[in-house]
Structure 1
Amino acid sequence: MPEIRPANPQFSSGPCAKRPGWSLDALKGALVGRSHRSKPGKAKLAKVIDLSREILNIPADYRIGIVPASDTGAVEMALWSLLGARGVDMLAWESFGKDWVTDVAKQLKLPDVRTFTAPYGELPDLTQVDWTRDVVFTWNGTTSGVRVPNGDWISDSREGLAICDATSATFAMDLPWSKLDVVTWSWQKVLGGEAAHGMLVLSPRAVERLESYKPAWPLPKIFRMTKDGKIVEGIFKGETINTPSMIAVEDAIDGLTWAKEIGGLPALIGRSQANLKAIADWAARTDWVDFLPVKAETRSCTSICLKIVDPWATAQPADAQAEIAKKLASLLEKEGVALDAGAYRDAPPGIRIWGGATVETADIEALLPWLDWAYATVKAG
């Protein structure tokens, strides 16, 4: 059994670890008991928007809104409000991408939908995408650990909209904003904020679609972004559609302030990449484990997904392989060295380690010998 333990055993992929040094004192300035519609309340919400724009280098003519129901709510707002004006290509290579396929094909029941899927660990053929159509995709597969390596495959002369669920990529990967028309994320992912709130970014092209196209289906109140054919600008100035938690808002400001203080996006990306490198170096010298992503350039630096490749394990029936991975994760949790480190329920059996910017590389490095110990313990019976 290793002697050194991670100082912070929280490696969950959402909600994620808090920033280093976080405590409840960070929330002392929260406007508890105050209306979010008050002048100070609106200022707090606007600060989240402004800091997000500054840190992520979001273009000045892109609108940024705080919306209900986390990243899921933000994605749903985009799908239900924008799709249907033209055909749509859906890309999916993990569970959340598949959820969006279900929404578009089975809930909205759009007549012209093409779906391109890939098994866990791989990307679909991105060259098949037709940019005269709308395209919906995740930048980073939270449950597969597979990300698109860059935005080169996205056309600069596209006619359709590029709609991107970037919840486990934002603040850890460099997004090419000029190639994206809709981008969503949640507070509880890379910066470890509290749940229930989503972020929605719209390009001028997306706003034009909102103002020129009316879906054939009714929209719930929390999805409505236009009134009388014009976008509701207040949504993108901190006037939220429903009541936000001002404690969660304060926590988001704290995470964003920390990100700015340590050097902004380059520093956040560097911290996350260092976490990935530590695991990659260990995996390269470890014979029982490998990355779930097939290609190195598609490995996520946030949701780092690993599979067990030891012949002893892979020779077992599928249910036995799943049990091995489950026992491994349970043993790590029992010892208090890695919480929530098992693979997502729909993913192949294995390990998922969050490597986002709030995780210290020293904690990743302390965890790795425990993974070896835990696997050897499970294998020994």
Structure 2
Amino acid sequence: MDFEYSDKVKALRAQITDFMDAHVYPIEKERDHFHDDPANLWKRWPGIEDIKAKAKAAGLWNLFLPHEYGEWSPGLTNLEYAPLAELMGRVIGASEYFNCSAPDTGNMEVLARYGTPEQQEKWLKPLLAGEIRSSYVMTEPEVASSDATNVATRIEADGDDYVINGRKWWISGAFDPNTKIFILLGRSSTEGPRHKQHSQILIPRDTPGIEIVRPLDVLHSVHSPFGHAEITFTDVRVPKENLILGEGRGFEIAQGRLGPGRIHHCMRLIGQAQRSLEYMARRVENRVAFGRKLADQGSIRQDIALSFCEIEQARLLTLKAADAMDRYGNKVAKDLIAAIKIVAPRMTQTVADRAMQVFGGIGMSSDFPPASAFMNARYLRFADGPDEVHLAQLGKQKIAELNALPVR
């Protein structure tokens, strides 16, 4: 792997940095205060569409979609996209300005890879244009959904339709007024191999029988306007052409979707950790306690040094995983994808925690970025599979691989 960014990536990094300086950092507090106001619950900050239009006009749009998607893609590899996503990720939520935010990115990849021309025309094109948003509907309250073969929501054929019945929760984006389409994973059969019993289907948000029961808060925040919902589906009827790829293909689709999504989270987390380190370094250089700058304290210097080392390690692992995805595909790169999904959120939590500590009491507030980075990293240890699942699968894989080696 070449550790030097290409000229194309260097130019895009400079362009994104300038864009963030001009349009994203200056409005960060204004946007957050708008969303924190109870009067604005589930409303979108009014300035978002203007920033999106500027990003689109600048060509900083849909950069996440790998080059193999042809006409849908701007032509970047995963390795080229990684350092760009890191810059976007420095401000939580800013990826939407570039149409590079979850869960839309994964849903667009599903439609680009597996969708019919009709599905692409109806849903992929407006998603790629940033005109609508989407949700991925998988997790359920009654079963341990980290083992997705437990998912019990039924998708049953009835004439020319499928009928969906079940209860879901932690459905990110369901409250966003721009969310118009759900991609739901459900059980379409009880026969045959466990991994061939589930399917994925497109459900328009306004289909009769869908009830949003309540928002679920994350560490006392409901993440308005995006939100995470508990939803019931009662006799929800959609035409058969809304099925993606075919019956029993749900896990095949999920594996194609989750690999890139997992690494995108990690790319953005590197940006949040790096920003926390920068804030920490400035704080200790300008703060005096007990007659000495904090920067002169040995323990503080150790925290800065360790944070630098840990960020660099995670960044390099992220780039290695992205490079392996490009060279060999997501399936072959699954060990590296699992590894960085374990490492990056924990690293960001640790670095942000150190930054919060050097800020003192104000470090616990939203006045500075580290507290938000800490909370974001904590809940991303659940998103796209909890740590324990990745550790178990990675451990099993490595035991088999290492035991296949000759004893030396």
| Larger RCO (CA under 8 A, 6+ residues apart) | 1
Q: Shorter-chain-normalised TM-score: which range?
A: under 0.3
- Normalising to structure 2: TM-score of the pair? 0.25
- Greater helix content: 2
